[in-house]
Structure 1
Amino acid sequence: MSLAEGTKPRHVPDRLTGRSQRVLRSWELLLFAVAVGIFVANSLASPYFLNPWNLSDATFNFTERAMIGFAMALLIISGEIDLSVAGIIALASTAMGWALQFDVGTAGLIAIALAVGLACGAFNGALVTRFGLPSIVVTIGTMSLFRGISYIILGDQAFNGYPEGIAFLGRGYAFWVVSVQLVLFAVFAVVFGVLLHKTNFGRQIYTIGNNPTAARFSGVRVERVKFILFLLTGVMAAVAAICLTGRLGSTRPSIAYAWELEVVTMVVLGGVSILGGAGSILGVVIAALVMGLVTFGLGLLNVPGIVMSIFIGALLIGVIAIPRLIALVRLRRRA
C-alpha cells in the first residue's frame, strides 16, 4: 500500500499549468529568496563566511544528502518512501572497508558499494512491490537491518586507509574551489531533472503518485516503475556512501546516522508533496542550498549539533503542517 492510496485522487501533470504552475514557481521563488537571505545573514554574522574556500567547504554540508534527495524525490512523488538510505550508506561503506582488507583497488571498491546499494534497493523494492507491504514499514525495518549488519561486522572498530581515488571523490577539487562532489551534485541534478520532467517515465511517476489505480488502467506498470525507483534510491545512497567515506577517510557503523530525516526534510522543503503526485527537482536543489547554508552558518557560529537536529526536526514538521493548516483555513472561509 502506497502513501498515496486512500487519499483523494488529484491530477497534477508533469508540466504544471495555470494556477498550479504559479504556486510551484512561487514556492521555488520563496525558497530562493530564503537562500539569499540566509547567505546575507551568514556573511554579516561571520567574517569567515565569504572566504572562497569556506564557501567551498559549505557545499559538503548538502551535496551528499542532495544526491540521495534527487532519487528520494522521485520515490515520494510516486507515493512511496525509503527511510533506509542511511542504513544503506553504512552497509555500502562497510562493504568497501571489508574489501579494502583484500587490497581491492578504487574501481573495485566503487563497484562493490554500488552493488550493495543496488541489492538493498532491490530488497526494499521487492518487499513493497511483490508482497504489497507498506514502504514506510518496510524501510523502517531495513533501516535497522542494514545498519545492524554493519555493527556486527565492525563492532567498535573502524576501517581506514582508503586509496587516493576514493579520497579524491570525497574531498578532492575538480578545479580551483569547485569540489568533485559539487560537480557530481550538478550532474545528477540535470540527469534527474530531465528524467522527471522531460521523459515518459517521469510522467508515469506523476500519474502513479496521483492515482495508482487509474495509472494501472492506463497501462502503466506501476509495480515495475516503483521497483526501479527503489533501485535508483539504493544506488544514489551508495554514491553518497562513496563520497562520504572518501571525505571522512574511514568507515564506522555510525556513519551517516539519522541522515534519512535530513534527506526527507530536504525533499519536502523543496515542494515535493509527502502524499505524492507533485514536486520538482529544481525545488529540491534550492532546498539543498538552503539547508546547506543554514547548517554551515550555524557551524561557523559554533552552534551545538543538537540545536541543528532540533532545527531539522522542526523544519520537517513545519513544511508538512503549514500547507495543510493554510488549506484548512481556506476551506473554512469558503464554508
Structure 2
Amino acid sequence: MSDTTLSPRSIPDRLESPLASALKSWEMLLALVAVAIFIFNSLATPYFLNPWSLSDATFNFTERGIIALAMAMVIISGEIDLSVAGILALASTAMGAAAQFGVDVPVLIAIGLAVGVLCGAFNGLLVSGLGLPSIVVTIGTMSLFRGISYIVLGDQAYRGYPSGFSFFGQGYVYWVISFEIVLFLVMAAIFYVLLHRTSFGRSVFAIGNNAMAAQFSGIRVRRVKFVLFCLTGLMAGLAAILLTSRLGSTRPSIAFAWELEVVTIVVLGGVSILGGAGSILGVVIAGFVMGLVTFGLGLLNVPGIVMSIFVGLMLITVIAIPIVARRIKSRR
C-alpha cells in the first residue's frame, strides 16, 4: 500500500484542499504555464490573437508533438531515440525521389511510413536484439540516416510533389482548424489509450521501473522495446509526410536538430528521463507550451539561435527541477 493510500488506520489529520491537490499535478502546472504564456503573447503583440495567427502557431509543434507521443513511451521504458530527425529526413528523401517518377499520393504516404518503420525496426534490432545502449545506437543512426539523405541530394532539393499532397501539411478541416492539429489530437488519444489503458502500456511502465523484474514477471522486454522503436519510426515517418507536405520540398537538412526539441517536449511533459513515469496528457500540454513559446518569440522577431538557446535552457531546467526537489526533500 502506497503512502498516499487511505485506510481506517491511517486517516490524515487534515484533508488537503482540492486546489492544493490540483496544483501538485504537473499537468495542471503546465496548463497554468500555457495560460500565462498565452496572456503574455497577447499583450506583447497585437497580431497574436488573430484566429489565423493562432492557427499558424499549431504548426510550430504538431509535427514534433506527433513524434514526442511515441518518444514518451520509449523514454518511459528507460530508452531513448535520438535518430528521429534523421529518420524524418530519410523518409522525406525517399518520398521526394518517388515523386520525381510521378507516383500518386497514397504511394508517397506508404513510402514515408514504410521508411520510418524500417528505420525504427533497425534501431530496435540493435537495441533489443544485440543489447546495445540506445543512446549510442541512435546517435549513430542519426548520422547514418541523415548522411544517406545528403549523399542522395547533396545541395539539391526535391520538388514537384502532386497537388493533392499539399493538403496534409497545409489543409484545413474547418475554418482555422488545420488537418495537422486534428491528426495530432487523434494520435494523442490513441497513444493515451495505448499507454494508460492497455496491458502493453503497463508493460512499458514496468520495464522502465525495473527491466529485470519485468522480465522475471513474464513481460517480453525485448519485444516491447522493439515495438516501441518501430512506433517511434512510424511517427517520424508520419511527421515527414506532414512537414514535407507543408514545405513542398525536401532538403537533406530538413528537421535539423529536431531531436532536441522532441526530447524537450517529452521531458517538459513530466516524463522522467530515467524512465518509469510520465503521461501522454503532460506531453500534449507541453507541446502546446512549446508551440506558444516559439510562435510568440517569432512574432517578437527573436532570432532562431536565441530560440535554440531557450529550448536548451528549458531542457536543462526541466531535468534539474525533479533532482533538486528530491535533494531538498531528503535533506528535510
Structure 2-normalised TM-score?
Answer: 0.93
Deviation string for 1:188-223 (max 9, x for gaps)?
010000000001110000000000011011100000
Aligned equivalent of 1:7:
none
3-state SS of the aligned residue for 2:173? strand
Is the CA contact (8 Å cut-off) linking 2:269 and 2:278 kept in structure 1? yes
1:145 match:
144
Q: How does 1:160-199 map to 2 (within 5 A)?
A: 160-199=159-198
Aligned counterparts of 1:25 and 1:208: Cα–Cα separation in 2: 26
Residue number in structure 2 paired with 1:129: 128
Q: Could you list the runs of 4 or more consecutive aligned residues of structure 1 that deviate by over 4 angstroms after TM superposition?
A: 16-19, 22-25
Give the counterpart letter for 2:282 in structure 1: G
Query: Is 1:44 matched with 2:43?
Result: yes
1:250 counterpart SS class: coil
The answer for the alignment partner of 1:233 in structure 2 is: 232
CA–CA separation in structure 1 for the residues paired with 2:160 and 2:35: 40
**Aligned: 1:67 with 2:66:** yes
Higher radius of gyration, 1 or 2: 2
Q: Is the 8 A contact 1:166 1:243 kept in 2?
A: no
Conservation of the 8 A alpha-carbon contact between 1:24 and 1:271: no
Q: Give the whole-Å Cα distance in 2 for the aligned partners of 1:91 and 1:17.
A: 49
For residue 63 of structure 1, report the CA deviation from its aligned partner: 0.3
- The aligned amino acid for 2:250 is T
Retained in 1: the 8 A contact 2:71–2:232? Answer: yes
**Alignment CA distance shift 1:229-1:331 (3 Å):** same
Give the corresponding residue for 1:5: none
SS of the counterpart of 1:174? strand
CA distance in 2 between counterparts of 1:283 and 1:166 reads: 31
Identity, % of aligned positions: 72
Query: Residue 303 of structure 1: SS of its match in structure 2?
Result: coil
Contact kept in structure 1, 2:22 and 2:28, CA below 8 Å: no
Distance in 2, matches of 1:310 and 1:324, equals: 22
| Other-structure match for 1:6 | none
For residue 165 of structure 1, report the CA deviation from its aligned partner. 2.4
Structure 1 equivalent of residue 263 of structure 2? 264
Cross-structure match for 1:3: none
- Equivalence for 1:222: 221
**Are the structure 2 counterparts of residues 24 and 154 from structure 1 closer, same or farther at C-alpha, using a change threshold of 3 Å?**
farther
1:226-268 deviation line (CA, Å, top 9, x unaligned): 0000000000000000000000000000000000000000000
Q: In the alignment, is the contact (CA less than 8 A) between 2:92 and 2:112 conserved in 1? A: yes
Amino acid at match of 1:206: F
CA distance in 2, matches of 1:297, 1:225: 39
Partner secondary structure for residue 213 of structure 1:
helix
Cα distance, 1:23 vs structure 2: 8.4
5+ residue gaps in structure 1?
1-10
Q: 1:75 to 1:50 in 2, by over 3 A?
A: same
Whole-angstrom CA distance in 1 between matches of 2:82 and 2:290: 19
- Report the CA distance between 1:17 and its aligned residue: 7.1
Contact 2:78 2:275 in 1 (8 A): yes
Deviation at 1:318, TM superposition (A): 0.5
- By how many angstroms is 1:55 displaced? 0.3
Deviations 1:143-195 (A, max 9, x none): 00000000000000000111122210011101110000001001001000000
Q: Which residue of 1 aligns with 2:92?
A: 93
| Separation (CA, whole Å) in 1 of partners of 2:239 and 2:125 | 22
Distance 1:168 1:17 in 2: 50
Change (3 A) 1:26 1:253: same
CA 24–70 in structure 1, closer or farther in 2 if over 3 Å, else same: farther
